[in-house]
């Protein structure tokens, strides 16, 4: 028996999405074609786009489909940067938070290394929120140099919901992008209400298929594309539209939003139960994630004296899947930059795990995890003690 506690990495695909995709895959046609086959597919795609846009608080034309959340983030970062410097070469500063996903940090870093961009990281406080005072001062002092502000809607390792409305207010005329892949479908997220310039959402985090995501981009804005070709998606993202995936994305999102309150309550209850049992079973653990305002299912916890790669191996051998920070391209575990940004030492970050609970989890699964954790921690501690002595 296996227990999946890594819903922030990817969530189980929903049956409604599987049905919608399966049906769509039987339909022939390229959505860009003018003939009846193409038109039929196009209609399904546009229906899906329309439904999705309503769920996200945008208009249909503001939804630009991409192949992944990473692609949408790259498009936003590079697109806004290129647009800004074309209009005013002094706008070279990209502002983001210190604990963004690598799909934001790495394209910025690429622009720093190759195109003379300047990155400014907004610090994170000990509770896992961005420092708004820092941002306010930065905008006051260097606002005219800023090309884009990109701050995630919720952090993927901590779950903390960031004050995006305040960021947008402070930004004034500066474009604001938010990576909302963890938030969309789980908590309230409304593009128009937040008055955002751009946002990223992704299907596989809400019970949809892999390989489809969207950049929500304010109407009337053009971005310099990364992919050139057939001119699909407002000429911002060329490439044949992945109709079945788009239709599956929409079906999953509709289902997630319809059940959002129910799911939120259920997942949060499981999370609170897990935390209370965890504190009893492993009294010296430290919970790094706060419960509110946050996503309902993420628990980030430090088990002092352990290394997370040993913990993951031991939990995996018990059939339990969860995760730690990120790994480099060769797969070498690295201390979580998220936890380091919020003030943990590298040693503490190395000793931390992210458990992300989803709606398919049960209390008995949580009980089972709690029952094996003390012996797993004991073995992981022993392994670390020895490597320190060596």
Partner 1 sequence: MKLIAAMSGGVDSAVAAARAVDAGHEVIGVHLALSSNPQKYRSGARGCCTIEDSHDARRAADVIGIPFYIWDMAQEFHEGVVENFLAEYAGGRTPNPCLRCNEKIKFAAVLDRAKNLGFDGVITGHYAQMQETELGRMMFRAVDPGKDQSYVLAVLNTDQLAGAHFPLGDTVKDDVRIEAKKRGLYVANKPDSHDICFVPSGDNAGWLRDRLGSETGSIVDESGNKLGEHNGAYTYTIGQRRGLGLTVPASGGEPRYVLKIEPKTNTVVVGNHEALAVNAIVGDRAIWCGPVPESDTKYRGFAQVRAHGSPLACTYSHDGIEISVSLDEPLFGLAAGQGLVIYDGDRVVGSATVSRTE
Residues annotated catalytic, as ranges? 328
Q: Kindly state whether residue 345 participates in binding partner 1, applying the rule CB under 8 A.
A: no
Report CA 284 to chain centroid distance, whole Å. 30
When the beta carbons of 195 and 309 are compared against partner 1, the nearer one is 309
Nearest to 277 by CA among 358, 377, 366, 360: 366
Q: Minimal distance in Å, beta carbon 388 to partner 1?
A: 11
Q: Kindly state whether residue 1 participates in binding partner 1, applying the rule CB under 8 A.
A: no
Give bridge partners of residue 121 from the DSSP assignment: 96
When the beta carbons of 28 and 328 are compared against partner 1, the nearer one is 328
Q: Minimal distance in Å, beta carbon 317 to partner 1?
A: 7
Total residues in contact with partner 1, by rule CB under 8 A: 22
Q: Kindly state whether residue 382 participates in binding partner 1, applying the rule CB under 8 A.
A: yes
Nearest to 268 by CA among 301, 287, 290: 290
Write out the two tokens for 255. 């289902």
Write out the two tokens for 19. 């049905």
Q: Kindly state whether residue 95 participates in binding partner 1, applying the rule CB under 8 A.
A: no
Among 333, 347, 360, 370, binds partner 1 (CB under 8 A): 333
Handedness of CA 233, 236, 240, 241 (dihedral sign): negative
When the beta carbons of 83 and 334 are compared against partner 1, the nearer one is 334
The residues in 293-332 that bind partner 1, with binding defined as CB under 8 A, are: 309-310, 312-314, 316-317, 327-332
DSSP secondary structure of 43-69: HHHHHHHHHHHHHHTS-GGGEEEES-H
Q: Minimal distance in Å, beta carbon 330 to partner 1?
A: 4
Nearest to 160 by CA among 337, 299, 308: 299
CB contact at 8 A, 360 and 384 = no
* DSSP helix/strand/coil, 182: coil
Q: Kindly state whether residue 36 participates in binding partner 1, applying the rule CB under 8 A.
A: no
Q: Minimal distance in Å, beta carbon 314 to partner 1?
A: 6
Q: Minimal distance in Å, beta carbon 380 to partner 1?
A: 7
- Residues in contact with partner 1 by CB under 8 A are 309-310, 312-314, 316-317, 327-333, 379-380, 382-383, 385-387, 390
């Amino acid at each position: 028996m296996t227990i999946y506690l890594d819903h922030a990495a990817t969530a189980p695909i929903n049956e409604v999405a599987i049905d919608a995709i399966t049906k769509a895959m039987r339909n022939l046609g390229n959505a860009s074609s003018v003939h009846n086959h193409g038109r039929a597919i196009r209609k399904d795609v546009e229906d899906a786009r329309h439904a999705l846009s309503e769920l996200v608080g945008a208009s249909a034309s503001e939804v630009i489909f991409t192949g992944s959340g990473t692609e949408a983030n790259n498009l936003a970062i590079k697109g806004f940067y290129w647009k800004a410097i074309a209009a005013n070469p002094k706008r070279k500063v990209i502002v983001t938070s210190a604990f963004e996903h690598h799909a934001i940090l790495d394209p910025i870093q690429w622009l720093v290394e190759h195109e003379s961009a300047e990155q400014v990281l907004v610090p994170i406080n000990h509770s896992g929120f961005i420092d708004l005072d820092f941002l306010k001062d930065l905008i006051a002092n260097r606002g005219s140099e800023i090309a884009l502000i990109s701050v995630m809607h919720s952090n993927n390792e901590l779950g903390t919901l960031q004050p995006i409305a305040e960021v947008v207010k402070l930004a004034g005329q500066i474009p604001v992008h938010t990576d909302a892949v963890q938030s969309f479908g789980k908590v309230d997220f409304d593009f128009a209400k937040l008055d955002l310039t751009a946002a990223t959402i992704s299907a596989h985090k809400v019970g949809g298929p892999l390989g489809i995501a969207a950049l929500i981009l304010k109407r009337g804005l053009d971005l310099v594309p990364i992919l050139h070709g057939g001119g699909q998606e407002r000429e911002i993202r060329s490439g044949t539209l992945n109709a079945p995936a788009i239709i599956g994305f929409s079906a999953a999102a509709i289902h997630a939003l319809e059940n959002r309150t129910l799911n939120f309550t259920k997942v949060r209850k499981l999370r609170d139960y897990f935390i209370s049992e965890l504190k009893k079973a492993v009294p010296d653990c430290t919970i790094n994630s706060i419960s509110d305002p946050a996503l309902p299912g993420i628990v980030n916890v430090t088990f002092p004296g352990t290394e997370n790669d040993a913990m993951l191996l031991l939990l995996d051998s018990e059939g339990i899947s969860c995760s730690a920070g990120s790994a480099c391209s060769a797969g070498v575990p690295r201390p979580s930059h998220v936890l380091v940004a919020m003030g943990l030492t590298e040693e503490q970050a190395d000793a931390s795990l992210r458990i992300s609970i989803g709606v398919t989890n049960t209390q008995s699964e949580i009980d089972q995890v709690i029952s094996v954790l003390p012996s797993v921690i004991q073995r992981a501690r022993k392994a670390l003690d020895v490597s320190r002595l060596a």
